[in-house]
Amino acid sequence: MPLVGVPNCQYNALDSVCQYSGIPVGPVLPVNWNTGYWNTETMLRKNIAIDLGTANTLVWVAGVGLVANEPTVVAISSDDNKVVAVGEDAKKMLGRTPDSLIASRPMREGVIADYQVTEAMLKYFIGKVLGKFTLLKPNVMVCVPAGCTQVERRAALDATLAAGAGRAYLIDEPLAAAIGAQIPVSAPSGHMIVDIGGGAAEAAVISLGGVVVHKSVRIAGNKIDEAIQAYLKKKHNLIIGDTTAENVKIKIGSATNLTQQEKHELSGRDLVFGLPRSIVVTSDDITEAMHPALVQIVGAVKAVLEDTPPELAADIIDKGIVMSGGTSLLRNFDKFMTQETGVPAHVAEDALFCVVRGTGLVLENIELWKRSVTTKG
């Protein structure tokens, strides 16, 4: 079919390129097929997908891909409540701010804890995508935990609209993660996805484009960090910060004991004398500290498996469990999951980006997924 504005161009629906010039014209150049003219509104209105996580916020723009991956941290001036820094710059301020500044995480356990700060952060990320000049407000899709309440869903929609979205959409994280992990969710067979982020862990069985069974626990990366802090405080009388706990988890943490122990030196404040002190911890120490939290996450997976219909359970045994989210990258977590459940588990490719990629794909094909999303605006 000839396209107006591209000389001698024949549109190939199969590979979405111009046969004459080789220029991509599918999703990049939206056309009204009834008239053959460009759909100007579609070209000017951007589609933005946001994975608003407790630890990190990722932003995906249709036709472009991932454009932002920054910590979900905002620094605010306590004098006039103005936003001073967002993302990476704000994270550097955590635990180091004077009285005039407050650096905090506006998301708790996967949902909005501070509405105004979350709105300001969304406005920052949307503005970063749009730039200074924009004619039309963008369509923005945000993912939320499948187990969140209607009040929490409404807060997410309202914050997105207030931040500058023309239309706001919500999608459940497990479905978005499964789509982003390239699982054939529309097939009439069962697939299990376990998305473990910073604030919540969600296990879900998906079939025929929808969530059949799901379980959400508000225990994930942040709670694991807190468990490490509590362990060191109890065993070594040492108080450490959130960032130090996260770093030691990443460097020597493992869900199972390592054959060859690793060591790491960390610093904090002595609980008894109140003075700075450094100690050396082993990978076995960190494994022991994390174990109770990991068992609770696996408990949610077991609960979903117990409630799964027999036919779908057979599919899951055959295909295994797919793990996504930043915390799924914890060393040997997939092996621990396999040991505890008896079902083969593996970490998805680009596990950190599965949710935002899936959210972006749904937004790009919104007509196909209307029944799976909540809309406002």
Residue 362 is predicted with a pLDDT of 93
Percent of the chain with pLDDT over 90: 57
Range of the structural domain that residue 22 is part of:
11-43
Closest by CA position to 172, among listed 375, 30, 355, 306:
355
Same domain (yes/no): 336, 198: yes
Same domain (yes/no): 309, 200: yes
Domain membership of residue 162 (yes or no) is: yes
Domain membership of residue 65 (yes or no) is: yes
Same domain (yes/no): 278, 315: yes
Instruction: Give the pLDDT mean for 71-98.
Output: 85
Same domain (yes/no): 215, 270: yes
Same domain (yes/no): 157, 24: no
Domain membership of residue 200 (yes or no) is: yes
- Number of folded domains in the chain? 3
Tell me the pLDDT band of 231, cut-offs 50, 70 and 90: very high
More confident residue, 17 or 109: 109
Residue 82 is predicted with a pLDDT of 83
Tell me: pLDDT of 29 over 70. no
Residue 43 is predicted with a pLDDT of 56
Residue 317 is predicted with a pLDDT of 93
Domain membership of residue 3 (yes or no) is: no
Same domain (yes/no): 213, 343: yes
Same domain (yes/no): 225, 287: yes
Same domain (yes/no): 116, 18: no
Same domain (yes/no): 219, 74: no
Same domain (yes/no): 293, 371: no
Tell me: pLDDT of 36 over 60. no
Domain membership of residue 326 (yes or no) is: yes
Tell me the pLDDT band of 376, cut-offs 50, 70 and 90: confident
Residue 106 is predicted with a pLDDT of 87
Domain membership of residue 178 (yes or no) is: no
Domain membership of residue 6 (yes or no) is: no
Same domain (yes/no): 56, 167: yes
**pLDDT digits 0-9 by tens, 323-332:** 999 999 999 9
CA pair distance 149, 162, nearest whole angstrom:
20
Tell me: pLDDT of 8 over 50. no
- CATH number of the domain at 135, please: 3.30.420.40
Tell me the pLDDT band of 136, cut-offs 50, 70 and 90: confident
Tell me: pLDDT of 310 over 50. yes
Residue 133 is predicted with a pLDDT of 67
Q: What is the mean pLDDT of the chain?
A: 86
Domain membership of residue 2 (yes or no) is: no
Same domain (yes/no): 131, 200: no
pTM to 2 decimals?
Answer: 0.81
